Structure 1
Amino acid sequence: MAHTEPLELDQKALDRARQNLGDGAVTPSSGPYTEAIVRLLNDALATELVCVLRYKRHHFTAKGLASPAVADEFMVHANAEAGHGDRLAERIVQLGGEPDFHPDKLLARSHADYDESLDLKAMIKANLIAERVAVESYRQMVHLIGDKDPTTRRLLEEILSDEEEHADELSDLLES
């Protein structure tokens, strides 16, 4: 029989968690990665905000026979992206960081591009590209964070699932 260590909590870490109450959810076992995770989350926040702006522009400027249904879908996606941004900002604050909503910095930090297309098919394509970029960036963040911050990883996995759904919906629109 192999000797295994007992499954016991680290009492000293629990005692340290009773200190520095102003740190909120950040405890001694949060590790050295919190700052880097906040930076990743702020870049994801910038991406979500740029996506909100792109989707809203497309919603209001879509024209053509298919445009009412597609424009409605753009607004649904804009609202979903805004919700993602809110969740990311909340997590940044929980980790002791500050969410960066500075308008001048958003595009530079965003993984996705803004788009001013007026052609409906070009709008769908631009949004599909942005969703695919979001899917890839969230997959990479989930991998990078791994077990370093399980709460943030779960949040990113939930957002990733939404982004995959958005990409599928846009792909279907592009084919129709």
Structure 2
Amino acid sequence: MNIASLPLSDQAPMTRPLELDHAALQRVHQQMQDGAVTPAMSPWAADIVRLLNGALATELVCVLRYKRHHFTATGLNAPAVAAEFMVHANEEAGHADRLAARIVQLGGEPDFSPEGLLDRSHAAYDAALDLKSMLRANLLAERVAVEAYRQMIALVADKDPTTRRLLEDILVDEEEHADELAGLLER
């Protein structure tokens, strides 16, 4: 017999019933000015905004690095690789926009300041001029981004499911970028 077909009373006992926290629902009414930040996540909002601003800086540095590499790539395979660099730059810019929007939803301010951008970023900027070095630098940056997003996802976990889903979506793209760059490097 399938457990889903059993009446709830016949299923394994639960430690607590699945019920909404009505007191938390009432507190939401009292703090409408907080927008997306609810009382359950508010203790974490500032930390989440700080994490997201670090990710935003990383995405901005990646956009700059990819664009430089796009415009300075030379050699026999350069046109195809440069085109891929621009695709990645545009996707990283989209990530930056999504992160900035979430920061604002959480009541924070996205930090687009060029001052200290590299210090806030998890990835480095690179001014390499040969194609293999460009590919290696971008692959390293993507691997750093993958690890950073995995750690942020673990930190946010159940504290902010919306931010977690956003980070998971971006992680999928970063893993794809790393796979593509590794494949180009093998050519």
Shorter-chain TM-score bucket reads: over 0.9
For 1:102, the equivalent position in structure 2 comes to 113
Deviation at 1:157, TM superposition (A): 0.6
Q: Which runs of 5+ in 2 are unaligned?
A: 1-11
Question: What SS does the aligned partner of 1:169 have?
Answer: helix
For 1:129, the equivalent position in structure 2 comes to 140
**What do the CA deviations read for 1:4-43 (whole angstroms, capped 9, x no partner)?**
4221111111111112222110111114111111000000
**What do the CA deviations read for 1:21-72 (whole angstroms, capped 9, x no partner)?**
2211011111411111100000000000000000000000000110000000
Q: Say if 1:131 and 1:164, in contact at 8 Å, map to a contact too.
A: yes
Q: Percent identity, please.
A: 73
RMSD across aligned positions (CA): 1.1
| AA aligned opposite 1:35 | A
- C-alpha distance in structure 2 between counterparts of 1:139 and 1:7, whole Å: 29
- C-alpha distance in structure 1 between counterparts of 2:176 and 2:16, whole Å: 43
**What do the CA deviations read for 1:55-105 (whole angstroms, capped 9, x no partner)?**
000000000110000000000000000000000000100110000000012
Q: Which runs of 5+ in 1 are unaligned?
A: none
Q: Which one of the candidate residues 37, 45, 58 is aligned to 1:26?
A: 37
Aligned length: 176
Answer with 1 or 2: which has the greater Rg: 2
Which stretch shifts more, 41-50 or 24-33?
24-33
Q: Say if 1:31 and 1:148, in contact at 8 Å, map to a contact too.
A: no
Q: Say if 1:134 and 1:163, in contact at 8 Å, map to a contact too.
A: yes
| AA aligned opposite 2:177 | H
Q: Which one of the candidate residues 38, 55, 58 is aligned to 1:47?
A: 58
Which stretch shifts more, 119-128 or 4-13?
4-13
- C-alpha distance in structure 1 between counterparts of 2:156 and 2:38, whole Å: 17
- C-alpha distance in structure 2 between counterparts of 1:117 and 1:77, whole Å: 17
Q: How does the TM-score come out when normalised to structure 1?
A: 0.97
Q: Which one of the candidate residues 48, 59, 65 is aligned to 2:76?
A: 65
Q: Which one of the candidate residues 127, 131, 140 is aligned to 1:120?
A: 131
- C-alpha distance in structure 2 between counterparts of 1:20 and 1:72, whole Å: 48
Q: How does the TM-score come out when normalised to structure 2?
A: 0.91
- C-alpha distance in structure 1 between counterparts of 2:56 and 2:106, whole Å: 14
- C-alpha distance in structure 1 between counterparts of 2:142 and 2:14, whole Å: 48
